[in-house]
């Protein structure tokens, strides 16, 4: 049973419900733009609109207004489903540290979405299944090591793929998102599945198809045959167990029968997409902030361990979190400063509010990679691009290794001019919304 908070009252009343007008505003300004952008695979056109209208600024303002109006405790903004927004750092830490009980990451919404391609993935698992699946993910991904023991092999694949991309850029004169994404997926397939998967677009196209369905969650019927073909494709790579791949580690890491090792892999593939968005935005920042670009270039010889470039990627993720809505469902009644929430309620941590609220975060609209040069703790303000607590992203270090090494090769011998971005630079506030998909880089 969870300990009550020291600041909790004995109130048996439920956490307040926002007024109908505030419900409509919270949905329109906070929840809808995020859902419309695509929870599992992004919709570039909606992202472009979000950038044009700078909708994330509106969302943060709405959160500030709601907090002002209802106080620091949570407030329910979808009464039927009992979805509550939280506003205080200690509530963020409490919810994330209280995973999987009483705050399970396997929320109704996530089960609806991820069930399309990884119904046995750790993120949508019960507490009992998680007890086996989480340690398996941590072992294979080596979550505590900045550089995975396959790091040299990963770095070699990254070097080859980025060099091939740069050859293409020399030919076309520009670096676009589409070219970057082709390179990215070749690299991810090699790192996760093995070198022989480099050109196996079918496996990631199958996943893309299933991810598109996942955006529609329960509204789309499950494509059972496609999912079977996709998972069988992954199984083949595990059977092949190419040395230096994560598939090899899946094949050789002991697993409890409940673990379903192959079903842990889709998350590693699909979540790598977020690292691509963060890297492309970080490249724009390194191009627009000459001092940061110079510091990154100086660091290149120490690859694959690149703390400053990793910080740049983390800062890109703080400014534009790729998981803006961190969801938890309550598994028992929980007490809060302003009332109780019954079991089965939903808690939403809206990350941009905690990352970009200029009334409480001095660096809200500045590019400050230095924020990440030391490990952050629960004593710190919650910047949570990788979530936190026992369900924190176990692939964080693999993602940062990929992203930082890709950036190192891109900036090593080149300076880039960026177009297609909102105005960027040290003299101005960092934009609230920033789509990576419309960016084009030209060697300066």
Q: Which residues bind ligand HEM (CB under 6 A)?
A: 105, 122-123, 134, 137, 141, 267-268, 271-272, 274-275, 278, 317, 322-323, 326-327, 385-387, 391, 393-395, 398-399
Q: Whole-number minimum distance, CB 421 to ligand HEM, in Å?
A: 19
CB 12 to ligand HEM: min, Å? 29
What gap in Å lies between CA 63 and CA 355, rounded to an integer?
A: 12
Nearest CB to ligand HEM, comparing residues 274 and 430: 274
Q: Which is nearer to ligand HEM, 323 or 338 (CB)?
A: 323
Identify the sign of the CA torsion 104, 110, 115, 118: negative
393 labeled binding residue: yes
Q: How far is CA 64 from each of CA 83, 85, 387, 397, rounded to the nearest angstrom?
A: 18, 12, 21, 32
Pairing of strands 75-78, 83-85: antiparallel
Contacts of 331 (CB under 8 A, 6+ apart): 100, 101, 102, 103, 104, 127, 343
Nearer to ligand HEM, 40 or 123 (CB): 123
Looking at beta carbons only, is 122 or 214 nearer to ligand HEM? 122
* Residue nearer to ligand HEM on the CB measure, 133 or 335: 133
What is the phi/psi pair of residue 361, to 5°?
A: -120, 105
DSSP 262: G
For residue 84, the 8-state DSSP code is E
Residue 427 Cβ vs ligand HEM, minimum distance, rounded to whole Å: 28
Nearest approach in angstroms of CB 135 to ligand HEM is: 10
State the DSSP string of 163-209: HHHHHHHHHHS-EEHHHHHHHHHHHHHHHHH-GGGTT-HHHHHHHHH
Closest separation between CB of residue 366 and ligand HEM, Å? Answer: 20
**Phi, psi for 330 (deg, rounded to 5):** -85, 135
- Of the pair 100, 339, the CB lying nearest ligand HEM is at 100
What gap in Å lies between CA 306 and CA 279, rounded to an integer?
A: 14
Residue number with CB closer to ligand HEM (289 or 383): 383
Report how far residue 278's alpha carbon sits from residue 140's, in angstroms, rounded to the nearest whole number: 23
Cβ 275 to ligand HEM, closest distance in Å? 4
Pairing mode, if any, of strands 440-443 and 175-176? antiparallel
CB of 385 to ligand HEM, least distance (A): 5
Closest residue (Cβ) to ligand HEM?
395
Q: Which is nearer to ligand HEM, 339 or 385 (CB)?
A: 385
CA-based nearest residue to 336, from 92, 59, 79, 109:
92
Q: In what order do the strands lie in the sheet with 175-176?
A: 175-176, 440-443, 416-419
Largest CA distance in the chain: 69
| Distance of closest approach, residue 124 Cβ to ligand HEM, in angstroms | 8
Residues annotated within a binding site for heme: 393
Residues annotated within a binding site: 393
């Amino acid at each position: 049973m969870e300990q009550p908070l020291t600041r909790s009252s004995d109130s048996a009343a439920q956490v307040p419900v926002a007024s109908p007008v505030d419900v409509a505003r919270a949905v329109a300004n906070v929840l809808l733009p995020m859902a419309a952008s695509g929870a599992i695979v992004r919709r570039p056109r909606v992202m472009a609109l979000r950038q044009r209208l700078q909708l994330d600024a509106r969302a943060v303002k709405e959160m500030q207004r709601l907090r002002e109006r209802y106080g620091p405790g949570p407030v329910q903004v979808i009464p039927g489903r009992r979805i509550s927004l939280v506003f205080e750092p200690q509530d963020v830490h409490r919810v994330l540290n209280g995973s999987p009980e009483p705050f399970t990451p396997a929320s109704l919404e996530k089960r609806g979405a991820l069930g399309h391609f990884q119904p046995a993935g750790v993120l949508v698992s019960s507490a009992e299944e998680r007890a086996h699946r989480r340690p398996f993910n941590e072992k294979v991904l080596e979550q505590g090591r900045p550089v995975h023991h396959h790091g040299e092999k990963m770095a070699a694949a990254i070097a080859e793929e980025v060099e091939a991309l740069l050859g293409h850029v020399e030919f076309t004169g520009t670096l676009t998102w589409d070219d970057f994404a082709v390179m990215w997926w070749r690299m991810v397939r090699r790192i996760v599945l093995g070198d022989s998967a480099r050109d196996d677009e079918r496996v990631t196209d199958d996943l893309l198809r299933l991810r598109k369905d996942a955006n529609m969650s329960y509204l789309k019927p499950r494509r059972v045959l496609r999912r079977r073909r996709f998972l069988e494709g992954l199984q083949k790579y595990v059977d092949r167990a190419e040395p230096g791949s994560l598939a090899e580690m899946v094949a050789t890491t002991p697993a409890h029968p409940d673990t379903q090792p192959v079903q842990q892999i889709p998350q590693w593939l699909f979540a790598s997409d977020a690292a691509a968005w963060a890297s492309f935005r970080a490249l724009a920042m390194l191009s627009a902030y000459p001092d940061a670009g110079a510091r990154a270039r100086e660091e290149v010889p120490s690859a694959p361990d690149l703390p400053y470039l990793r910080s740049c990627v983390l800062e890109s993720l703080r400014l534009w979190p790729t998981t803006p809505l961190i969801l938890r469902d309550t598994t028992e009644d929980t007490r809060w400063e302003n009332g109780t929430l019954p079991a089965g309620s939903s808690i939403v941590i809206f990350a941009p509010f905690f990352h970009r609220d200029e009334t409480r975060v001095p660096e809200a609209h500045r590019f400050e990679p230095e924020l990440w040069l030391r490990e952050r703790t629960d004593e710190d303000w919650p910047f949570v691009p990788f979530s936190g607590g026992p369900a924190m992203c176990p692939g964080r270090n693999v993602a940062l290794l990929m992203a930082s090494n890709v950036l190192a090769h891109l900036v090593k011998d080149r300076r880039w001019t960026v177009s297609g971005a909102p105005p960027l630079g040290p003299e101005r506030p960092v934009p609230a919304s920033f789509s990576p998909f419309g960016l084009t880089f030209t060697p300066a």
